[in-house]
Amino acid sequence: MLARLPIHGSSNLTAAYTSFSALCYIYLEVLVKTFRLLLFLAAACAIAFAGDQYPNAALLTSNPIYKKNCAACHGKSAVGRHFNHAPSLLSEKTAAASPDDLRTIILKGKGEMPKFSGKISAAELDALIQQIKTANQK
């Protein structure tokens, strides 16, 4: 049952309106805080899932050759960067590439990627390719 407010006197109506406004404001604050919490939890889950998706990526990303030559474009975690169109090295496309394909791309370059022929040794290149292939194993 709804309580009836007395009609006579505007102070009662003003008080009721003020109470209602305060209640709406509190409700809105709760909604905003809940939405922020849900966004935070969704982001945390996405980060946790991404971390577990490629458990072998740490070997690649900790390689000094990767850090020196690759991380600037492909990112510290090898997931690629959108501003320079560098693809993720942790993807189905990279996993499907053969070691010879990877070797050719690294040595000769492709698209915006520079060539690294003469900049890294054959042993460093082989280790890098092996680490890229290992990082893509789930």
What would the pLDDT profile of 26-80 be if each residue is shown by its tens digit?
Answer: 888 988 888 888 888 877 777 666 555 777 888 899 999 999 999 999 999 999 8
110, β-bridge pairs: 113
Asked if pLDDT for residue 21 goes beyond 90, the answer is no
Query: What is the per-residue pLDDT for 17?
Result: 64
pLDDT at 54: 77
Confidence of residue 7 (pLDDT cuts 50, 70, 90): low
Please tell me the predicted confidence (pLDDT) of residue 55. 77
Q: What pLDDT score was predicted for residue 42?
A: 79
Q: Which residue has the tokens 């849900």?
A: 38
CA angle 88, 81, 60 (to 5 degrees): 45
DSSP helix/strand/coil, 81: strand
Q: What's the per-residue H, E or C state across 7-64? A: CCCHHHHHHHHHHHHHHHHHHHHHHHHHHHHHHHHHHHHHHHHHHHHCCCHHHHHCCH
pTM of the model: 0.61
pLDDT band at 15 (very low <50, low <70, confident <90, very high): low
Region of residue 78 (phi > 0: left; psi between -120 and 50: alpha; otherwise: beta): left
Is a pLDDT exceeding 70 seen at residue 129?
yes
